[in-house]
Amino acid sequence: MPEGYQSTDRPEKLVEVHTGFEISDFPNIDDNSLLTVTVTLFIDLTWREPRLETNFTQEQIEQNKRVPLNLRNVDLIWKPDIFISNLVDYKEHKVLDPLAGLSIYPGNILEYWVTASVTIFCKMGFHVYPFDRQECPFFVQSSNYDNQRVSFTSYSTYDEESNRLQEFDLILTDISHDDKEVENDGYVYSQVGFVVYMNRYTGPFILKYYIPCFTMVLICFVSFVIPADSIPGRASLLVTLFLVLSTFFGDIQATTPQSEGLTALQVYVLTCLMFAFAATMEYAFILTVLKRHNHRVHLTNRRRQLEARKNASVSSSTLSNSGEEATIFTTRTEPTKRQRGRLVEDRGTFSLLNLHGDIDDPEIFAYVIDRRAAIVFFVFFILFNVVYVIYFTVT
């Protein structure tokens, strides 16, 4: 070291720092609560320190031979001050000693390298989850020196085939030209780094959530072909499907990353839940109308019985006075087969209620309502799936 050398004093001329990022792994991506990305990488810094005094031989100069230095000398020389944007945690790897090194090349070129795990915060959005694509920039700059005193250049490497994360497909790119300089407090700082694009694999979500929900809604449509008088079977089917979809939605609420609104997955499951609820309400409507019809039939029969008894009493009194005997028969007029056939032919119209607001044939009524509901529900569900795919995946 020359006399009077201070490790805190920067060289007078512009220092160009060449930075290398050799990424080996992304051991953890927390997209649920902390919104952080952890990267294991090899950081290599190379710069020229003209104030150092060296005694390289001519052979070493011609071969540009690297000479390792004791790592303790790191604290004795000037080093670029490194600032990592959105840094959450930084841990250097260590076995017996830190996995780091310091070397010098002819021309007073210093190289410092270290292996570390760096955790940074990433701003993520989950509106289209699980079809989301997250972008996480890794920025490095000087914390004290602007681009007139310290300038950075960089390279980055990553073997995408070494990705061990089963949830994301990772793509690494260089930062844009506009991001290579950042202004702060009136000063412009040189900045380098890389950008990680995280494309989420949607296959597990399709198998775990989308296909079961789609299938359960189709099973709800099967309930429309079950006769309305099969109350235990049809009601248990609809209630079971509704409860299963509710369980799905609760599980998604607990595992889905936090978002300002509903995610794409929540929208789909919630819509399927609404279809199951609507199918249940449609059956409840049919049962309500049938119950009302049966109540009116019961009242009508009761009134006829009372009138028949009254007429029978009057007739008995008249016959006893005249000495004649008579037999009273009460009959209920049932619709003929031809009339029921006309109702069946007319089931394509909306004239299901008579002038008194009641139904003429409960079986025909339930059949027509179920048939129309099945068509409407199926068309709307298919339309919903088409719009959903276009909006959340294509666009």
What confidence tens digit (pLDDT) does each residue in 281-335 have? 999 988 888 887 776 766 777 777 777 777 776 666 565 555 544 444 444 455 5
Domains of the chain: 15-201 (2.70.170.10), 204-394 (1.20.58.390)
Mean pLDDT for the stretch of residues 238-244: 92
Helices (H) and strands (E) in the chain, counts: 7, 12
Interval 70-85 mean pLDDT: 88
Strand (E) or helix (H) holding 17: strand 15-30
Residues 155, 98 contacting (CB under 8 angstroms)? no
Backbone angles phi, psi at 2, to 5 degrees: -70, 160
Is the pLDDT at 337 greater than 50? The verdict is no
**pTM given for the model:** 0.75
The tokens describing 364, both together, are 């025909």
- Confidence category of residue 347, pLDDT binned at 50, 70, 90: very low
* CA distance linking residue 97 with residue 70, whole number of Å: 12
Retrieve residue 132's tokens. Answer: 């989301």
Measure the CA–CA gap between 310 and 297, rounded to whole angstroms: 20
pLDDT computed for residue 188 by the predictor: 92
**Residue 47: pLDDT above 60?**
yes
Q: What is the pLDDT of residue 345?
A: 43
Please say if the pLDDT value at position 164 is more than 90.
Answer: no
Q: Are 364 and 343 in contact (CB under 8 A)?
A: yes
At 102-147, the pLDDT tens digits run 999 998 899 999 999 999 999 998 999 999 999 999 999 998 888 8
Question: In angstroms, rounded to a whole number, what is the distance separating the alpha carbons of residues 360 and 340?
Answer: 9
Phi, psi of 325 (to 5 degrees): -105, 145
CA-CA distance, 190 to 391, in Å (whole number)?
39
Q: Cβ(174)–Cβ(35) under 8 Å?
A: no
Q: Is the peptide bond before 137 cis (omega within 30 degrees of 0)?
A: no
Q: What is the DSSP string of 343-383?
A: HHHGGGSS--B-TTS-BS-HHHHHHHHHHHHHHHHHHHHHH
Instruction: Find the length of the chain.
Output: 395
In this prediction, residue 88 has a pLDDT band, given cuts at 50, 70 and 90, of: very high
Residue 82: name the closest of 38, 113, 104 by CA: 113
Q: How far is CA 145 from CA 72, 99, 141, in A?
A: 25, 27, 9
For residue 233, is pLDDT > 60?
yes
Residue type, 306: L
Cβ neighbours for 122, distance < 8 A, ≥ 6 positions apart: 35, 36, 37, 86, 134, 135, 136, 137
Q: 83 to each of 37, 123, 332, how far by Cα in Å?
A: 17, 19, 95
Token pair recorded at residue 133 = 């694509």
Instruction: Kindly state the helix (H) or strand (E) to which residue 291 belongs, with its residue range.
Output: helix 264-322
pLDDT tens digits for range 182-227:
988 888 999 999 999 999 999 999 999 999 999 999 998 888 888 8
Please give the DSSP secondary-structure letter assigned to residue 19: E
CA dihedral 381, 370, 375, 262 (to 10 degrees): -10
Structure tokens that stand for 230 in this block: 């099969």
Q: How confident is the model at residue 244 (pLDDT cuts 50, 70, 90)?
A: very high
Rg (CA), the chain: 40
pLDDT of res. 128: 92
Q: Looking at residues 31-43, what average pLDDT do you find? A: 91
Q: How far apart are CA 197 and CA 274, in angstroms?
A: 35
